[in-house]
Homo-oligomer: A and B are copies of this chain.
């Protein structure tokens, strides 16, 4: 299995609400014409929004309604101050703050928000990693 990943699917209870958050709130653009599943092309991978019930059924797992299963996703910013800007944007879009940004032990600056379905996003500035113009993240500084 090559060392890569293609797609992250976020199961949501209300697809219209989730689209308002990611599209109207964060400014993302849906890349497919279908209405029942929404694909967002990110650099190198795709993020999908799908109803949580359909996702659980597709994966043959039981859904207990939990909002944390040990998975978080992160958006790394290009600058220190962009962390607060993104958290502010996410809250204005209908997200909630899980942790306000703070200077962290590994030398960065990081906070967390939850999207309307409770999916935890870290927003972090890591001076030891680099993000190229296309948005691809590389371990190590540029």
Residue of B nearest to A117 (CB): B70
Contact of A2 among B9, B62, B73, B135 (CB under 8 A): B135
Q: Which chain B residues border A1 with CB–CB below 8 Å? A: 26-28, 75, 86, 89-90
Asked if residues A59 and B75 are in contact (CB atoms below 8 Å), the reply is no
Asked if residues B45 and A137 are in contact (CB atoms below 8 Å), the reply is yes
- Asked if A16 is at the interface (CB within 8 A of a chain B CB), the reply is no
Asked if residues A119 and B69 are in contact (CB atoms below 8 Å), the reply is yes
Q: Which chain B residues border A41 with CB–CB below 8 Å? A: 3, 138-139
Residue of B nearest to A126 (CB): B6
Known: A41-B138, A76-B6. A68 touches B68 (CB 8 A): no
Asked if residues A8 and B8 are in contact (CB atoms below 8 Å), the reply is yes
Asked if residues A61 and B5 are in contact (CB atoms below 8 Å), the reply is no
- Asked if A63 is at the interface (CB within 8 A of a chain B CB), the reply is yes
Top 7 A-B residue pairs of the complex, sorted by shortest distance between their CB atoms: A44-B44, A11-B70, A66-B66, A69-B69, A6-B76, A7-B74, A4-B135
Q: What are 27 inter-chain pairs, A to B, with CB distance below 8 A? A: A1-B28, A1-B75, A2-B135, A3-B28, A4-B42, A4-B135, A5-B47, A6-B74, A6-B124, A6-B137, A7-B74, A7-B124, A8-B74, A9-B73, A9-B122, A31-B139, A41-B138, A44-B45, A55-B72, A58-B99, A60-B112, A61-B68, A61-B120, A63-B68, A63-B70, A64-B66, A66-B66
